[in-house]
Each structure stands twice: as C-alpha cells, then as structure tokens.
C-alpha cells in the first residue's frame, strides 16, 4: 500500500472507515482524491468529520480548516494527525 | 423516463394537438421575511457542532427563511398572485396544480390546491395536488399542466403551477447529511405558444429503489451518494440533447439548493466551469423544497442576468429518488409587471 510509512493509528482509523464503506476496495493510497473519486460523497461528509474527531480525540475548528484539508488521506493526516 | 415536451398527441376531439410549445408566461417567488442562521436551528434539529460546521463550511449553508407561524396559504398566495397577474384579458386559468414535496402538508381534509384556487378567485379552475417526485414535483407539474393544455385547452387557456411549503417539523426540515430545508413558495403561469420562456425539453428519471426516503439503509445511502452526480449528469445531457442543444449552448444551470458540495461533485461530473451553476442562493435561502429553481430564476431575472434568447437549464433532485432537468429559452421582452417583491 502506498500509504505505508505515513501511517498513524489515527489515520488508519479514517482509512478503515472509508474502506468499510466501500467493500469493493481493499486499499486506499494516501494521495487518492476522496471527494472527486466520491469515496467520500456529500452524504458522508458529516460522518467523515466525526470519524476524524473521534480518531484525533479533538474537536475540529471549522474556522481554521478548508475543504482541501479533507481531499486525501495525506492532507487529512497533515491537518489533523501531524 | 423522459417525455419530450414536443411529443404531442392528437386530442380526442377538436383540432389536433400539434407540437405546441409550453411557455412560462410569468414566474414569481416569495420568501417569508424571518431569516435565521443555521446555528439557531441546531437545538431544534438535534444538530451537533460538527454537523453544523460541515453544513456551514462545506455545504455552504448560512441563513434561511423560517417562519413556522405563517399560515401555508399566506406563504403560497403572494407568488401565485404575482404569476396570475400576467393573465391577459380574455385568458382563463383552466388548471391549477399545487406541487409539493412532503405529502402531508395539511390535514387530510384540507385540499390545499382548492384553497389556493379559491383564495385567488379561480373558482372554476380545476385544482389538484401533485407530488411523488419530491423536489422535482414543480418541474413535473409544468409538464403535466402543459400536457393538459395540449389535450384539452382551447383558445385563451392557461394553467397555474403553485409550489411552496414549510419546514414545519424537524423531520421535514433536516435531511441528514444533506441539507436544512427552508420556507419559500413559487408560482408559474403557463400557456401554449405564448410570449414567455419556452420549455424546450424536460427529462426526468426516478430510481424507485430509493423510495424509502429517510429510511434507507447505510449501504443504500452510500450507493445513492456515489451515483448522485452521474445520475444528474444523465438527465441534464438528455434534456439538453432533446432541446437540440449542447451543454456549451446553455448559459447557466439554475439548480436546486441542496448544498454546494453535492454540486461541486456534479460540476466535476459535467466537466463544466463552476460559474456555470448558480449557487449564490445556497447560503441565502438554503433548500426550499420544490421552489428552489424558481426562487433562483427570479433572483437572476430581477438582477438582469437572464438574457433574451439564451438557454437555461433548471435542475432538481428529489428524495425517492427523482432527477429532473428542464431546458428553457428565455424571452426577456415579455412584459413583466406587478410581481411580488421578496
């Protein structure tokens, strides 16, 4: 998996949540665009936020984030788990 | 399913119904005055901080109109009166359709369509409700009214589409992970071969497997979300093709206001510039049931942004799930006075 090496327990939880919604996939590279590819569609965005908050153990500050922070596993890791 | 509006059938008697064009003689909308920020609805809707954050930051919602004490008729009447004002001398309204999303908008013994007709003085007008296409019902009603006029309407025959409803309960107001519904109403006076905007095509498709609305399983929701953009693109391409146009020839997409993220994904699917979809009203009014496309139309028209002879695409999606797209050609020279201010 191309995501190997950047892993942390937190981002693994996010990856597992996305893969759990898409049983047809077994892996998810860190640079896949989650929104454009519809791995996270608009219906799932709230749940994604809850998953990240749960995994990171913090509340997301919506004043200081942008949608680009949610674009890929790599950007999510940088924004919330670094 | 798609029924081209030019697909005329012979009438049972009288002159043959040719491919007469449905024209939209006057479109008006109405928004109640009381405006609230979405955060003010958090407690009522049981929305947690993160959900409100997503709605504001990523879905683009901000304020909306919400006036639960306003009687439904008072919500519906201003736009309907405004549209009816375009009825010329000698014209008569043969049909009135009240298009709504929520099936129970009033107690079962209240016929909202009839009451609207009576309130407008249209006592001889055949009035009926129309639903089941959820937020596409208003566009669907235009087609139904047009077909009725083709089949039975004689000289001077008009029809009135009325839509509008209120987010009267939290269940109706909050579509989980999708949108916060708001109050608005709209109306459209319709005839055949008039001087108003010409309806060039209407494409619609209903995916009945999602008929359970808010009761879908998590898997069904995921599946629906994945194909959402693609399904909208399909009806859009179909409507544009049936209008004899290309997407490049459409000046602007006038959409429903479900949320900006859903449209972002659809814009990607359509491969059009983001500016081609009018989303300015999403943060102002949020999703107003079946009124969105007409509210957005009047905003654009009143701002002078609709061009005579240009083609526009009205697009909506309804729970249940129905996807609808209508191509119209705007006629700016059409006289327009007496509309309700918003």
CA atoms of A8 and B282, how far apart (whole Å): 37
- For residue B176, the model assigns a pLDDT of 84
Q: Which of B174, B192, B210 is the last residue of a domain?
A: B192
Q: Chain B: nearest CA to A66, how far in angstroms?
A: 8
User: Which residues in chain B have their CB less than 8 angstroms from residue A44's CB?
Assistant: 177, 221-222, 225
Mean pLDDT confidence for A44-69: 90
In a domain, A67, yes or no: yes
Q: Which of B192, B211, B231 is the last residue of a domain?
A: B192
User: Order of strands, edge to edge, in the sheet holding B126-130?
Assistant: B126-130, B92-99, B157-165, B184-192, B22-30, B197-206, B322-329, B311-318, B250-255
What is the per-residue pLDDT across B96-148, written as a single tens digit (0 to 9) for each?
A: 999 999 888 888 899 999 999 999 999 999 999 999 899 999 999 999 999 99
Task: Note whether ipTM > 0.85 here.
Answer: no
In a domain, B11, yes or no: no
- For residue B335, the model assigns a pLDDT of 52
Mean pLDDT confidence for B170-193: 94
- For residue B17, the model assigns a pLDDT of 63
- Which of B340 and B291 is assigned the larger pLDDT? B291
Q: Is the Cα torsion angle A65, A69, A75, A76 positive or negative in sign?
A: positive
B104-113 long-range contacts, CB within 8 A, separation 24+: B105/B72, B105/B165, B105/B166, B106/B72, B112/B72, B112/B73, B112/B76, B113/B162
Mutate to test the interface with A, among B222, B267, B321 (most CBs of A within 10 A): B222
Strand extents, DSSP E, B166-266: 174-175, 179-180, 184-192, 197-206, 250-255
Q: Which two tokens stand for residue B118?
A: 């009576």
Please name every residue paired with B36 in a beta bridge, in sequence order, or none if there are none. B64
In a domain, B242, yes or no: yes
Residue B7 has pLDDT above 70, yes or no: no
In a domain, B204, yes or no: yes
Domain range for B232: 197-329
In a domain, B253, yes or no: yes
Of the listed ranges B256-265, B280-289, B291-300, B322-331, the least confidently predicted one is B256-265
Q: Are residues B161 and B233 in the same domain?
A: no
Q: Are residues B226 and B181 in the same domain?
A: no
Q: Are residues B295 and B158 in the same domain?
A: no
Of the listed ranges A45-54, B89-98, B209-218, the least confidently predicted one is B209-218
Q: Are residues B71 and B154 in the same domain?
A: yes
Contact at CB, A65 and B57, closer than 8 angstroms: yes
Q: Chain B: nearest CA to A55, how far in angstroms?
A: 14
How many domains would you assign to chain B?
Answer: 2
In a domain, B313, yes or no: yes
CB B25 within 8 Å of CB B199? no
Q: Are residues B226 and B285 in the same domain?
A: yes
Instruction: Look at chain A and count its residues.
Output: 82
In a domain, A3, yes or no: no
Q: Which of B175, B192, B209 is the last residue of a domain?
A: B192
What is the per-residue pLDDT across B302-320, written as a single tens digit (0 to 9) for each?
A: 999 999 999 999 999 998 8
Q: Are residues B133 and B201 in the same domain?
A: no
- For residue A82, the model assigns a pLDDT of 84
Question: Whose CA is closest to A12, among A73, A53, A80?
Answer: A73
Q: Are residues B85 and B133 in the same domain?
A: yes
Q: Are residues B322 and B225 in the same domain?
A: yes
Please name every residue paired with B96 in a beta bridge, in sequence order, or none if there are none. B127, B160
Q: Are residues B210 and B163 in the same domain?
A: no
CATH number of the domain enclosing A18 = 1.10.1200.10
Q: Are residues B71 and B139 in the same domain?
A: yes
Residue B341 has pLDDT above 70, yes or no: no
Question: String of b and e for A17-40 (b: at least 16 CB within 10 Å)?
Answer: bbeebeeeeeebebebebbeebbb
Model pTM? 0.89
Among chain B residues, CA nearest to A18: B222
CA atoms of B65 and B37, how far apart (whole Å): 9
Contact at CB, A46 and B222, closer than 8 angstroms: no
- For residue B9, the model assigns a pLDDT of 44
How many domains would you assign to chain A?
Answer: 1
In a domain, A1, yes or no: no
Q: Are residues B29 and B103 in the same domain?
A: yes
Backbone angles phi, psi at B309, to 5 degrees: 85, -5
- For residue B18, the model assigns a pLDDT of 57
- For residue B227, the model assigns a pLDDT of 86
Radius of gyration of chain A (CA): 12
Mean pLDDT confidence for B171-193: 94
Residue B205 has pLDDT above 70, yes or no: yes
CB B294 within 8 Å of CB B99? no
Q: How confident is the model at residue B265 (pLDDT cuts 50, 70, 90)?
A: confident
Contact at CB, B50 and A21, closer than 8 angstroms: no
Q: Are residues B303 and B187 in the same domain?
A: no
In a domain, B67, yes or no: yes
In a domain, B285, yes or no: yes
Residue B12 has pLDDT above 90, yes or no: no
Mean pLDDT confidence for B81-96: 97
Mean pLDDT confidence for B59-73: 96
- For residue B333, the model assigns a pLDDT of 65
Domain range for A58: 9-81
Q: Chain A: nearest CA to B180, how far in angstroms?
A: 13
CA atoms of B136 and B143, how far apart (whole Å): 11
CATH number of the domain enclosing B223 = 3.40.47.10
Q: How confident is the model at residue B186 (pLDDT cuts 50, 70, 90)?
A: very high
In a domain, A36, yes or no: yes
């Amino acid at each position: 998996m191309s995501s190997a090496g950047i892993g942390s327990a937190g981002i693994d939880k996010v990856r597992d949540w996305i893969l759990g919604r898409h049983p047809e996939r077994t892996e998810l590279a860190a640079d896949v665009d989650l929104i454009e590819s519809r791995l996270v569609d608009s219906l799932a965005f709230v749940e994604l936020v809850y998953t990240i908050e749960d995994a990171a153990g913090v509340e997301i500050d919506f004043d200081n984030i942008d949608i680009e922070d949610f674009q890929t596993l790599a950007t999510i890791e940088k924004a919330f788990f670094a | 399913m798609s029924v081209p509006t030019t697909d005329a059938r012979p009438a049972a008697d009288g002159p043959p119904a040719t491919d007469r064009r449905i024209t939209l003689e006057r479109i008006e909308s109405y928004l109640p005055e009381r405006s609230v920020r979405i955060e003010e609805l958090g407690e009522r809707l049981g929305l947690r901080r993160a959900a409100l954050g997503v709605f504001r930051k990523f879905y683009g919602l901000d304020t909306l109109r919400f006036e639960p004490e306003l009687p439904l008729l008072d919500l519906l009447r201003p736009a309907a009166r405004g549209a009816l004002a375009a009825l010329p001398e000698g014209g008569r309204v043969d049909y009135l359709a009240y298009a709504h999303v929520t099936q129970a908008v009033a107690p079962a013994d209240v016929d909202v369509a009839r009451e609207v007709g009576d309130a407008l003085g249209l006592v001889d007008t055949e009035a009926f409700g129309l639903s089941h296409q959820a937020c596409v019902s208003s566009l669907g009603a235009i087609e139904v009214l047009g077909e009725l006029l083709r089949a039975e309407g004689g000289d001077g025959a008009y029809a009135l589409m009325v839509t509008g409803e209120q987010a009267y309960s939290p269940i109706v107001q909050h579509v989980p992970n999708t949108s916060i519904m708001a109050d608005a109403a709209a109306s459209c006076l319709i005839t055949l071969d008039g001087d108003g905007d010409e309806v060039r095509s209407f494409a619609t498709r209903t995916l009945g497997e999602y008929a359970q609305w808010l009761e879908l399983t998590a898997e069904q929701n995921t599946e629906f979300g994945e194909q959402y953009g693609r399904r909208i693109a399909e009806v859009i391409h179909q409507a544009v093709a049936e209008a004899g146009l290309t997407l490049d020839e459409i000046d602007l997409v006038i959409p429903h206001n479900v949320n900006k993220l859903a449209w972002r994904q659809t814009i990607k699917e359509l491969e059009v510039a983001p500016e081609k979809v009018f989303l300015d009203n999403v943060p102002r009014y949020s999703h107003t049931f079946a009124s969105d496309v007409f509210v957005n139309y009047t905003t654009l028209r009143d701002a002078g942004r609709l061009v005579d002879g240009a083609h526009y695409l009205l697009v909506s999606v309804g729970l249940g799930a129905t996807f609808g797209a209508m191509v119209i050609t705007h006629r700016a020279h059409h006289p327009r006075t007496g509309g309700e201010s918003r």
